[in-house]
Amino acid sequence: MNKFCSLCAILGLSMAMLTGCDKKNDAIETPPEAPTRFVGADLSQWLVYNENHAIYTDNGSPIENVPQYFAQKGFNIARIRLFVAPDMQSEACQDINYVIRTARACIDAGMLICLDFHYSDTWADPGKQYTPKEWESLSVAEMAQQVYNYTRESLSRLKEEGITPAQIQIGNEITGGMLWESGRISVWDEAANTPTQWENFLSYLRNASKACREVCPDAQIIIHIDRGGDSETAIRYYQKVANIDYDIIGLSYYPFWHGSFSQLETTLQSLQNKFPQKEIMIVETAYPHQKSDYGESGNAACDYPFTPEGQASYLSDLVRLLKRYDNVTGVYYWYPEETYVEPFYGRIDLHRGMFDEYTGEVLPAINQLKDFLQ
């Protein structure tokens, strides 16, 4: 049982004992434990879509409360990204106030929260880990301290608002490190695979983890890379971060970028064998329900048609695969809230959401991930 579940069980028993002490003839009831498996929806774009009159329907009827609808479909945790000082008139518009508003709606809907620190003013992924503008002049030691301060301040602010994340990502797809150039690393490239570069990066991770443990001691900490289909890189990477205090190996797996199911299976089995004490989660996955301009079509690993039925089949088969691994405890869909909305600064057109982009009608894929909880 993880620490989060243990705390919930202890708190539940304590409350039951307190409320039952004046009812000698009543049985003591404890609330159910927190989930041991997670089905997540990254709903980071939902709020700005909602404010720009996006359409969401089920069998033609409007969906009034989108987070609640996802909860009813079996999603028990919402992932929300956080940027340091984003341009609020861009697609990357999730500052701390935005996160608070989104998290409240998701908590009210019955979901837990996974906070995804990007440590950047804009998108952070394997190809870009831009240092926030206000941090650019900091030395390595100052940057490490700033990571600690910023992480602690952000989490404290959330807790002041009654929001305590159940899971926290300290970086987003940080396969190549974060806070470039000082925090750029690689397990292959000689220029970035040096003791100095790794120590810089690890100092940032240590300070991020330290702040999480101090403010949210029962939250699970995730270290997230993108190599769901690359077992050798994943093993080398998590060996390098073995001394960081964290709980979950987080992977992105998009078959059009990261390879076939057999490659994913090799990665999962290798990680489970090498790090048996760690949980493993697919913290990002998605599949197109129609062709797009993002290069998915040329990848031989995409064995499913780019149709609503193909999208649903992909997720159904993915769930069956993941359930074969005891250490795999979560699967998250990235950007499921994509739907019909008039063009505006926050619209992202990828054709991978769980709603039809021309009508707003829900697609069959939304019903597939809940089977992971069974």
Asked whether the beta carbons of 249 and 298 are under 8 A apart, the reply is: no
70 has a pLDDT exceeding 60? yes
**Candidate list 173, 338, 357, 361, residue with the active-site label:** 173
| % the chain with pLDDT above 70 | 89
Domain boundaries along the sequence of the chain: 1-34, 38-373
**Which comes out higher in pLDDT, residue 31 or 182?**
182
Q: How confident is the model at residue 300 (pLDDT cuts 50, 70, 90)?
A: low
Beta-carbon contacts of residue 165 (< 8 Å; ≥ 6 apart): 112, 113, 114, 115, 155, 158, 216, 219
pLDDT tens readout for residues 336-374: 999 999 999 999 999 999 999 999 999 999 999 999 999
User: Quick one: pLDDT at residue 4?
Assistant: 43
The reported pTM is: 0.91
308 has a pLDDT exceeding 60? yes
Task: Give the whole-angstrom CA distance, residue 374 versus residue 362.
Answer: 23
User: Quick one: pLDDT at residue 34?
Assistant: 73
The fold of 38-373 is TIM Barrel (3.20.20)
Closest by Cα among 115, 47, 48 to 81: 115
Using the structure block, give the residue that is written with the tokens 């057109």.
349
Asked whether the beta carbons of 239 and 187 are under 8 A apart, the reply is: no
Closest by Cα among 326, 330, 334, 331 to 256: 334
**Candidate list 51, 265, 284, 342, residue with the active-site label:** 284
pLDDT tens readout for residues 109-146: 999 999 999 999 999 999 999 999 999 999 999 999 99
Q: How confident is the model at residue 258 (pLDDT cuts 50, 70, 90)?
A: very high
Q: How confident is the model at residue 33 (pLDDT cuts 50, 70, 90)?
A: low
User: Quick one: pLDDT at residue 5?
Assistant: 46
pLDDT tens readout for residues 46-69: 999 999 999 999 999 999 999 999
User: Quick one: pLDDT at residue 29?
Assistant: 40
- Helices 140-160 and 195-215 cross at an angle (nearest 10°) of 20
Q: How confident is the model at residue 295 (pLDDT cuts 50, 70, 90)?
A: low
Active site annotation includes 173: yes
Q: Render 194-237 in DSSP notation, one character per residue.
A: SHHHHHHHHHHHHHHHHHHHHH-TTSEEEEEES-TT-HHHHHHH
102 has a pLDDT exceeding 60? yes
Q: How confident is the model at residue 296 (pLDDT cuts 50, 70, 90)?
A: low
Instruction: Tell me the pLDDT of the chain averaged across its residues.
Output: 91
Q: Which helix (H) or strand (E) holds 114?
A: strand 112-117
24 has a pLDDT exceeding 50? no
Task: Give the whole-angstrom CA distance, residue 368 versus residue 243.
Answer: 36
301 has a pLDDT exceeding 80? no
User: Quick one: pLDDT at residue 26?
Assistant: 40
Q: How many residues belong to the chain?
A: 374
Active site annotation includes 361: no
Task: Give the whole-angstrom CA distance, residue 218 versus residue 212.
Answer: 9
